[in-house]
Amino acid sequence: MKKLGLFSFYGAALLCMALFVNSCSKDDISVNINWTEEYPQTDTNSGSDSSTDKDSNSSGSGSGTGTGTGTGDGSSTTKEKISMFFKANVRGVFAVSSTSVKPISAGRYIMIDAYSAGNRIASQTYTSTASGSLTSTSGDTLSVPTGTYDFYAVGINASDATVPTFSASGICSSLSNQTDYIWWDDIAYTPTYPSSTITMNMQHCCTQVVVYVTPGTGITISDVTGMNITPSNTSGCTWSLLTGIITPATAITSTTATMGVAASGTEYVGQIIMLPLKMTGNMTLSFSATLSGETAARNYTASLPVYENNMEAAHSYKYTVTLYENEVVISSVNIIDWISVTANSTPIIPTQSTRK
C-alpha cells in the first residue's frame, strides 16, 4: 500500500508537471499570435491584403501631372512634370536705356529646346503676340520633369519667318544676309513645380550696317533711292544653337544687296542686316540722290571700311556719309544701338544712344 501510494504520488506529480509544461507552450503560441497581429509582416503566401492597404494609404493621391505623387516617405521615384511658359524681348548689345530691351513683335516664330546633361529633353515651337508672350504653335505646353536644365531659343525677327533648321549636333549651315537671326539661352535653370515662366532677352546674331546720308553745306536732299552695298559672303558660315555664334564671313560678295531707306529729318537712313564680317578691306556703297531744285537724280559710290576689320554680332555700325553735288565723304563711323526695321526692311529710326 505504501509503495502504491508513493507511486501514485510521483505519478500525479509528473502528470501535473506535464500539464504545466503543455500549458506554457500554449501561452507561448498565444503570445506569438498576438505579436503578429500587432506588427503585420508581408506574407506572399497568405493572400492577405494588409500590406497593400498600407502602401495605398502612404502613396497619396497628388494633383500633378506626374505619376509619383508620394507624401514624402521616399516611396515615390517618378518626377513631377513642370509646365513651362515664355515671354520674349529683343535687346541691343548696349542696354544703355530701357528702350534697348523691347517685347518682341507679333508673328515671330521661336523654337525653344530644353537640354539636360547634353541631351535634348523637350522642344517646342512658339509664335509671339503683341505683348511679347509666346504661344505654342501645336497647342502643347513644353513640360519637363523636376530638375535643372539648359534652355535655348532661336528664331528670325521677321513676321511669319520660318525657324531655321538645325542638325542633330545643333548646327545651322544654311544662312543668308538680310535676315535678323535671334538667339537666347539660360544655363542651369531650375524651374519650380507646377509651372514656371521665363522672360527671354533674345540677342541679334548678325551685324547691322546703317548709313546716314547727310547734306553738306548748301545742299538740300529731296530724295535718296536705290541704296545698295556689297555684304558678307555667307558661304561656309554656320550658326550654333548652343552658343548663338554665327561664324563670321571672311570676305564680301561681288554682287550688291538692297538696303532699306527712310527719311529722317534732313537726312536719309539706309540699313541692312548681314552676317558678321571679319576682314581687312572695304564694302562698296552706291545710291542715287535727288538734290533740291533738280529733277534728275545723281549717282554716288563710296567705299565703307570694315570697322576695325571686325564687324561683330549684335553690333550696329553707323556710317555718316556727307553728300555734296559731285562727291560723298565718309564723315564718321561709330557703334550705336540696334535699329529696328519694318517688314520690308525699312528702318524704324529711334533716338540713338551711342556706345559708352
What pLDDT does residue 265 have?
A: 94
- What CATH code would you report for 81-204? 2.60.40.2620
Each residue's pLDDT tens digit, 75-95? 445 578 999 999 999 987 654
Each residue's pLDDT tens digit, 283-322? 999 999 999 999 999 999 999 999 999 999 999 999 999 9
5 pLDDT higher than 60 = no
Residue with cell 501631372: 65
- What CATH code would you report for 207-348? 2.60.40.2630
Residue with cell 509619383: 68
165 pLDDT higher than 80 = yes
Reduced to 3 states, what is the DSSP secondary structure of residue 198? strand
**pTM, entire model:** 0.76
Q: How far apart are CA 81 and CA 170, in angstroms?
A: 25
**Portions of the chain given CATH number 2.60.40.2630:** 207-348
What pLDDT does residue 139 have?
A: 93
Q: How far apart are CA 207 and CA 70, in angstroms?
A: 52
- When the pLDDT of each residue in the chain is averaged and rounded to a whole number, the result is 81
Each residue's pLDDT tens digit, 317-351? 999 999 999 999 999 999 988 888 888 899 988 65
**Portions of the chain given CATH number 2.60.40.2620:** 81-204
Angle, alpha carbons 48-51-52 (nearest 5°): 90
Answer whether 329's CB lies under 8 Å from 313's CB: no
Q: How far apart are CA 112 and CA 135, in angstroms?
A: 12
Tell me if the bond preceding 194 is cis, omega within 30° of 0. Answer: yes
What pLDDT does residue 94 have?
A: 57
Tell me if the bond preceding 164 is cis, omega within 30° of 0. Answer: no
Reduced to 3 states, what is the DSSP secondary structure of residue 7? helix
pLDDT-derived band of residue 61, with 50, 70 and 90 as boundaries? Answer: very low
What pLDDT does residue 349 have?
A: 83
Each residue's pLDDT tens digit, 265-281? 999 999 999 999 999 99
